[in-house]
Amino acid sequence: MRSGCAPIDARCCRMAWRWATDAVPAQPRVYDAVWIGRVHRQKGIDDLLNTLAHLAQCVPHFKCIFIGNLRESMGPMIAARGLERHVEFSGFVSEEEKIRLFKRAGYFSCQAATKAAQGSSAKA
């Protein structure tokens, strides 16, 4: 067993993800990054926002999209850092739309701040 999944479960998940992503055609790059996750300190929100603020200073046209119903919880934090023109909120989207948004971004982030809840970042 690895990552909480039996090998057969992991293979099925990879096959399902491959099938789902193949169902959505290639998309033009619109976003530099996409983030999906829950708003919790354990998920490294402060680190994420600090990173976005740094990128916004270094890359003038930097654009990120947050997937999920996050505007209410994240909007004030985004505004406090002056990131409104760099961050969009998708709201709730279908699984197909999630894949479309992933394909429209250069990087995907779903990190965690604690060792017990480590997430990942990947180049798309």
pLDDT tens readout for residues 3-18: 444 444 444 444 444 5
In this prediction, residue 13 carries a pLDDT of: 44
Condensed to tens digits (0 to 9), the pLDDT of residues 24-76 reads 778 878 898 888 877 777 767 888 889 899 999 999 899 999 999 999 999 99
Q: Beta strand pairing status for 31-36 and 105-110?
A: parallel
Contact 100, 76 (CB under 8 A): no
In this prediction, residue 1 carries a pLDDT of: 35
Q: In whole angstroms, give the CA distance from residue 52 to residue 17.
A: 28
Q: Beta strand pairing status for 87-89 and 105-110?
A: unpaired
- Tell me which amino acid residue 36 is: I
Condensed to tens digits (0 to 9), the pLDDT of residues 76-123 reads 999 999 999 999 999 999 888 988 898 888 877 766 555 544 444 445
- Tell me which amino acid residue 66 is: F
Query: Which run of H or E residues covers position 118?
Result: none
Domains of the chain: 25-123 (3.40.50.2000)
Share of the chain above pLDDT 70, in %: 69
In this prediction, residue 110 carries a pLDDT of: 65
